[in-house]
Structure formats: C-alpha cells, structure tokens
Amino acid sequence: MTVLNMRRAGAILTLLLGSASTAAYAQVEQEAVGGDIVVTAQKRTETVNTVPLAVTAISPDALRAANVTDVKGLSSVVPGLQIQTVGVDSFVGVAIRGISNRSYQPSANSAISTYIDGGYVDLPVGFSESLYDLSRVEVLRGPQGTLYGRSATGGNINIVTADPVDHFDAAADLSYGSYNDVSAHAMINLPVSETLAVRAAGMVHRSDGFFDSHGTTSRNYGAADSFGGRLTALWTPSSRFKWRVSLDQYTNKGTPGLSVRTGADGKPLNGISPYEQPVYGDPEPYNKIISTSLRSRMDYEATDDLSLSYVGTYQHIDAAYRWVTTGDVGAPANPGWQQASAYSSNATFHEVNASFSSGRFKNTLGGSFFYEKIKDPGSAAIYAAINYLYYSPDGADITKRSWGIFDQASYEVIDNLTVTAGIRYSKDYQAQGGGLTYACSLSAYPVTDFRDVYNLTATTPGCNGASVGASGSGSWDKITWKAGVDYQITPETLVYASATTGYKPGGIQPSAAAGLPKTFEPEDVTNYEVGMKTRLANALNLRVAGFWADYSNLQVFQLAPGTSGGLSLVTLNAAKARTYGIEVEASWDITPSDHFSGFVNYLHATYTDYTDGVDGRDNSVIASLKGYQLPQAPRFSMRAQYAHDFDLGNGGRVTPLVGFYYQTKSYTQPNNISWYRVRPYTKTNASLTYTDPTEKWKVTAFVDNIEDNLVRTGDWTSSGEVYSDYMPPRTWGLRVNWDY
C-alpha cells in the first residue's frame, strides 16, 4: 500500500476484546467452540453444529483464556483469519481465506463485512475497545453474498453484545501488566420492572506504549488512553414482542503505533529494535477517535411460524491523527514521513426481515438499506527524503448508498436431508467530490515547525499551484446466490455441501489524471464447500470444512497512462485468483478436568492472472504475478491449547493453561519478495488461574509471546522505502475478575 492510499484515511480498526463475565473455563470452552453455543449466522437462532457453513463462535472468556486482547490475536484462534496492521493510524486489514482489502481509504469497500448487534458497520472505527461485555464473536468464512450482501466476499465478522436480563447482575475486572498497562471493565444489570431491564457497562484502558521513543516525544507510540460506555435497554411487553435499544460511546486519545523503516530482511534499517526507536518529535504522536452509536432492534412473533424483525443503527465518527515514521540511520534527526489527517462520518443502516418456519420448510426474506456521508477536512505531510511536502485544506466528500433484497429458503426433502437455495439483488452507489491539494518543494519552503505546513497556498514559493482530487460517481448492481444440501447423519453429525457467490462493490479512483477511468468495477467470487460437524462421546467437538473459490475482477493497483502524459497509479479490475484449502477445528473435554482445543488450517491462495503489477516501493512494474501467493495467506497454520483444572478440595481450583500457535511464511503485498515477507513464527501464551470456591472471584497471571519473537504484522511503501509494523513483544500481566 502506498502513502497515496493512506493519506486521507482514518483509523480503521483496533480490537481489544474484553468482558466482565466469569464462567468456568470448561463451560466457556464448550460454548466457545462446541456445538452448544447459539449463533445467528443465518439470521435465525441455531447452534454452531447445526449451521451448514464454516463459522467459528468465540465467547469473551475463551478469548481471555487464549490471551487474545485485541483483533490481531483473533488470527491465532480462528482458522483462515489473518490480521494485518499499519500502526500509523491503527489501520487493520482483515483477510479470510486469503481475501482482503488492499486499500485503507474511507472511500474503499472492504472484502470482509462487520456487523455489531445485526447492524452493518462500514468503517469499524472505535468499536474495538468498546467491545466489552460481549455475548460472542462470530466469524463466518467464505462469501456471504445472499444474507449479508455487499463487501462479504471473504466472509464477515458478527459482534454480539450482551443482552439485559430479568434479574440483578454485576461484574468487573481489573488488570495490570507490562508497560504500565491498566485495563478495567464493569457491568451492572438492573430489572426495572417485569417487562423492562437495563444494562450499563463501561471500560477504561491506559498504558505507556511498548514503542519507547526515549524522550524524543512526550508520549511513546502505541500508548493507550481510552474509555467508553454502553447503556442497553430491553423491553418485553409480551411473550411475542421485544425491543432492544443501546447507546454506545467510545473515546480514544492514545497515540498511533509506530511504523519503522525496514530493509530487505524485514528488520529495522538502523539496526535498532523497533521497540526502542528514537523518533522525531514534530509533530507529537496523537490519535483521536470519538465514536457514538445508537442501535435499535425489534422482534415480533406474529404467529408460531412467522417472526418479523427490524434493525436500525446510526453511527457518528470523528477521527484525527498525527504521526512520524522512523527515517534513515541517525534517527531521530532524519525523520521519514511527518503527517496529520482527519475525517468524520455519519452512517445509517436499516434492515427488515421475516423468518418463517413450519414443518419441513424454513424461509428468511428481507431487505436492507445503508447510507454514509464521509467528510475529509484535509491533511498535511512532510517527506524530507524526496524534498516534498503537501497540504490539503479541503479533502474529498464521499457518499455511499446501498440497498438489497434477499430470500433464502430450506426444505427438508426427506427426514434429515435438507436443500437450501437463496438469492439476493444488491444495488450500490458511490460518489466522491475532489479536494484541493498544494504540493511544494521543501527546499523552497523550509519549515521549522510542522504547523508551518498549514500556511501553504497555491502561490507559496516552490508550490506548483493547486491540484484537484478525483471527482466522480458510479453505481453497480449484482445478483448473488446460494445453493446447498445438508444431511443429519445422526443427531450429533451433520454433513453439508454448498455453492455460494459474493460481491464487492466498485469504487472511485483516487487519481484525477485526465484520460483515466474515474471508477472501477466490482469483484466477484464463487465458492464451493463441503463440510462435516460432529460431537463424539458427548466430549469431542469436531468441525471440518474443505473449499475451492474462484475470484474474478480483483481490484488491484496498476500504472496507466493519462492523456496529459506520464503514468498514474490507479485501481483496475486486472487480476484473478484461486483459493482452496481445508480447515479442521476441535474441542475435546478429555476428562472433566482436562480440556483441549485447536485447529489445523491449510490454505493455497494464489493469483491465476495478474499482469503489470506494481511494486509500491518505487512503482516499478512486474510483468506477471501469476502463481504468487496472495497477501495475508500463509500456506499452513495451527493452534493447540490445553488446560487442566486442579481441584483444591475446598471447591476452589487452579487452572494452568498453555496455548501454542504456528504459521508458515506469508507476504504483506502481492509481490512475493523478501521486503514483504513475514517469516514463519510461533507464538506461545500461558496463564495460571485461581477460582475461589464461590465461583465469584478469579485471579489470573498470564504471559503472551513467551518466545519474544519479532513478528511483522504489516507494512506500507513509498518512494523506494518500506515501513513495517510489529506484533507486541513479550508481555505479562495479572487480572482479577469478580462476578456477582
């Protein structure tokens, strides 16, 4: 990804999953990966082992047991899921089965859709650390183009927060760890009346940050400073109707992660640990994300066979950031990029659906509407290495609009044999109004303070007038479908086969060069899958899925000539890819005190056609990338986790746990060269938990990344340079949980 793809982007995603629930580990593990947890992956209530598709459902306690504290950690507990981070703005690129989004602009459309409590989130900013007091996280793998529609070619992530309940409840947790990391969550549930319950939850997170700038900045990069709250009300005036409303607010005033200039070996060019980099202090690192969300859901059982539902959401986001990368050897005197940017967004989503179930027939049909307005108030940057600076006093205005109608039906042809068919029509529209940018020579307009950049005008010495960003609009529509069959061999064993399609909308070009196309077309995918889910001896849960997917019209970067001469970097539908693989998940209660879980994942994801690819370091052209591995697609990955409960005789217990993760090499960019290689690595975590006899208190000591491995999680490129981001080093901590 080039800086041009980043400079008007906001902070996309940083996920710290936390909860105040404190169920026993054995129960949690069964709920997390077993057949008993209830999911809504098909927009109806089912259990994991009865859903004929590849879905992993994870409870907050299972995440905690695995020492997963943010979205990056999900890669180590969900097969086929990879997370790439770009620390400058806490960008997060999610890939499922090798399919991901390669642009982080707010104007871009993701290949992995995100839903919170049933509401679509186009720019999942600020919900990360707000995801405390959860019910579960569902990760659906493979295209979900029928029930979920746009931007779900690789799959989707469903976040479900906890419902109010009809009795008093309360819980809290407090943790302290490396780098003075302090995190706290609390929840209280109040039954107001026989029909109304209210649940309030909150969180606070502070840390010094693990990128030590050694005093060159007032705060380290990667420092946490966030808080949030959620108020949820559930009204149930009758047995057939319920209305759930939640108000969620989140504020993050920490600092961005640090992007470090790296060489062909993937290590910092100056030979200094990425966690010990002295960084130029102008501008000071700053991150501001303020997100406010209102969500409403109504459910009505019209008859014993027919249920109606409505989901409506509104989200407002204000995001701003300032950051510096490390530069040449001799930093901080020679910084890399110095940059500042911001944006705001207002988005609404509505969906209505009807679910019918009678005898052998089930049907879900509905429609959805999404609208978003994004305002980029401008950005500024200095890049001394190429004697360049720019100021954009007025960024682009972006409008997104989408609607769709869908129907998916299942019919049990004979006992235990069910066929499924679904279809969806989607219509998407996007418009972008170009902003104004001044690009100037740093030698002609030297700056002593970063704020001097904001004084640039078209007549400033060294400035080549003003350029206008891309303006244009486009609309796209698509019919996506699903066909499947499943057979319940025994009450505990399900086998299934399906063919599904997905669709990622087109978009507007970031370049405004004359003679170039202003828009690009949608991506398409067709996926074929077979699978099995079973529970053996009431102890071993086993899920296996094999898949084959063909992707066409992939949106990739290429250099194209404009009518005014020269080449411009544009997005074109110029590539195809094929992915296939097998995923095996298991959870085994070996004895009442011994618990095992894990997965094995094999993924073959390569381009089958990609000519004239572009290397973002220097915009050089690669004649063909055919056969190259897709980004964020390691060929093999696995996880194994084991825990044992030691009974103390008084009702209390001590539970040691060890989790081990391994993956083979992968790449962060389409060009499979050493500059972008993520080397094979292991990551081991361990914990020791004491649970008191009343089950109300837990104390856990934990350590993560025991090997203290240096692992790249992502990078971005510009002007011959690569800037990399890294997984946290070894960390430790102590956590106390209390449950009423």
Between CA 437 and CA 389 the distance in angstroms is 10
At 71, give phi and psi (nearest 5°).
-60, -30
Bridge partners (DSSP) listed for residue 362: 357, 410
Please state the length of the chain. Answer: 740
- Amino acid identity of residue 624, one-letter, is S
Count of other CB atoms within 10 angstroms of residue 172: 18
Q: Are 251 and 244 in contact (CB under 8 A)?
A: no
Q: Are 489 and 447 in contact (CB under 8 A)?
A: no
What lies within 8 Å, CB to CB, of 547 at 6+ separation is 54, 97, 141, 142, 527, 528, 529, 530, 579, 580, 581, 582, 583
DSSP line for 89-154: GTEEEEEETTB-----STT---SEEEEETTEEESS--S-STT--SEEEEEEEES--TTTT-TT-SS
Residue 1: name the closest of 508, 560, 606, 617 by CA.
Answer: 617
**HEC letters along 354-365:** EEEEECCEEEEE
Q: What sign does the CA torsion over 111, 117, 119, 125 have? A: negative
Residue with tokens 């505990």: 492
Count of other CB atoms within 10 angstroms of residue 545: 23
DSSP line for 175-242: EEEGGGEEEEEEEEEEE-SSSEEEEEEEEEEE---SB--TTSSSS-BT--EEEEEEEEEEEEEETTEE
Instruction: Give pLDDT < 70 ranges for the chain.
Output: 1-36, 69-70, 85-92, 102-104, 124-128, 130, 327-335, 465-470, 511-514, 562-567
What lies within 8 Å, CB to CB, of 354 at 6+ separation is 306, 307, 308, 309, 363, 364, 365, 366
Between CA 19 and CA 559 the distance in angstroms is 47
Is omega for the bond preceding 278 within 30 degrees of 0, making it cis?
Answer: no
Q: Are 20 and 739 in contact (CB under 8 A)?
A: yes
pTM: 0.90
At 121, give phi and psi (nearest 5°).
-120, 110
State the virtual CA torsion across 373, 379, 385, 387 in degrees, nearest 10: 120
DSSP line for 385-452: GGTEEEEEEE--EEEEEEEEEEEEEEEEEETTEEEEEEEEEEEEEEEEE--EEEEEETTTS--SSGGG
Between CA 477 and CA 427 the distance in angstroms is 4
Q: What is the pLDDT of residue 94?
A: 85
- Count the alpha carbons within 13 Å of 648 in the hemisphere toward its beta carbon: 12
Q: Which domain holds residue 331?
A: 3-739
Between CA 104 and CA 10 the distance in angstroms is 8
Between CA 34 and CA 47 the distance in angstroms is 9
Q: What is the pLDDT of residue 479?
A: 96
Write the burial class of residue 271 (CB in 10 Å: 0-12 exposed, 13-18 middle, 19+ buried): exposed
Strands of 55-58's sheet in order across: 55-58, 134-141, 155-161, 112-116, 119-121
What lies within 8 Å, CB to CB, of 110 at 6+ separation is 94, 101, 122, 151, 504
Report CA 35 to chain centroid distance, whole Å. Answer: 25
Query: Encoding tokens for residue 424?
Result: 């969806």
**Run of H or E including 26:** helix 25-33
Write the burial class of residue 400 (CB in 10 Å: 0-12 exposed, 13-18 middle, 19+ buried): buried
CATH code for the domain of 618? 2.40.170.20
Q: What is the pLDDT of residue 340?
A: 84
Residue 394: name the closest of 489, 306, 320, 469 by CA.
Answer: 469
**Run of H or E including 30:** helix 25-33
Query: Encoding tokens for residue 572?
Result: 């074109």
Residue 311: name the closest of 41, 119, 43 by CA.
Answer: 119
Q: Are strands 155-161 and 112-116 parallel, antiparallel or unpaired?
A: parallel
Report CA 740 to chain centroid distance, whole Å. Answer: 32
Please state the domain count of the chain: 1
